[in-house]
């Protein structure tokens, strides 16, 4: 027997365009609100709404610039080292970031600093220098040795000005 009942009338399908439009509007509103929150500094502690002075310069950045630390940069004599094995050379030049009150003490100890750096660099192999991340490791090792030689708190940082393998 055939089923004589016809399917009940289903409710008419509404177009999904309305829900698509509502979703799009809400997404744009959320994106705009998120952008505003980040730009205004409500999220992530941003400082992008800087105060401008009469001349249009950002006064908060100028205030930060005037509060620079009281440091001087003491140059280290350039060092040229013959690398063992492949016969190449390493040219090294650096500067030490020093608290200004300790400048004369660090300059007095500079021959000892050069000796420590020279001995450390001579002990390196070419393979130690081949890795791209090796410079940051070498810098940290050299800074630690310099800080031991000069005493605590005198040298803040070692800035590598030239590091050339020939």
Q: What is the pLDDT of residue 31?
A: 92
Residue 111 inside a domain? The answer is yes
pLDDT digits (tens, 9 = 90+) for 14-37: 667 888 999 999 999 999 988 888
Residue 62 inside a domain? The answer is yes
Q: What is the CATH number of the domain that holds 148?
A: 3.30.479.30
- 9-16: long-range contacts, CB 8 A cutoff, minimum separation 24: none
**CB burial readout 110-134, b (16+ within 10 A) else e:** beebbebbeebbeebeeeebeeeee
Same domain assignment for residues 31 and 60: yes
The answer to whether residues 91 and 78 touch, using CB atoms and an 8 Å cutoff, is yes
Side-chain half-sphere exposure of 70, counting CA atoms within 13 A: 5
Side-chain half-sphere exposure of 96, counting CA atoms within 13 A: 31
Domain count of the fold of the chain: 2
Same domain assignment for residues 135 and 120: yes
Same domain assignment for residues 78 and 157: yes
Q: How far is the C-alpha of 108 from the C-alpha of 110, rounded, in Å?
A: 6
Q: Pick from 27, 48, 66: which residue ends a domain? A: 66
Residue 47 inside a domain? The answer is yes
Question: What domain range includes position 48?
Answer: 17-66
Q: What is the pLDDT of residue 45?
A: 63
CB-based contacts of 145, cutoff 8 Å, min separation 6: 116, 117, 120
Same domain assignment for residues 60 and 78: no
Least confidently predicted of 32-36, 131-135, 144-148: 131-135
Same domain assignment for residues 79 and 160: yes
Residue 10 inside a domain? The answer is no
Same domain assignment for residues 122 and 157: yes
The answer to whether residues 86 and 128 touch, using CB atoms and an 8 Å cutoff, is no
pLDDT digits (tens, 9 = 90+) for 80-123: 998 776 668 889 999 999 998 999 999 999 999 999 999 999 88
Residue 92 inside a domain? The answer is yes
Entry pTM: 0.58
């Amino acid at each position: 027997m055939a089923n004589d009942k016809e399917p009940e009338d289903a409710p008419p399908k509404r177009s999904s365009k309305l829900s698509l439009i509502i979703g799009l509007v809400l997404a744009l509103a959320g994106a705009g609100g998120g952008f505003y929150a980040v730009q205004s500094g409500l999220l992530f502690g941003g400082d992008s709404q800087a105060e401008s002075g009469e001349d249009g310069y950002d006064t908060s950045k100028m205030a930060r610039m005037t509060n620079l630390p009281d440091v001087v940069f003491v140059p280290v004599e350039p060092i040229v080292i013959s690398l063992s094995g492949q016969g190449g050379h390493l040219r090294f030049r650096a500067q030490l970031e020093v608290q200004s009150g300790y400048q004369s003490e660090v300059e007095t100890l500079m021959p000892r600093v050069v000796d420590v750096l020279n001995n450390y660099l001579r002990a390196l192999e070419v393979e130690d220098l081949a890795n791209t991340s090796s410079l940051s490791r070498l810098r940290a090792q050299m800074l630690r040795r310099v800080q031991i030689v000069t005493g605590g708190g005198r040298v803040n940082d070692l800035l590598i000005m030239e590091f050339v393998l020939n």
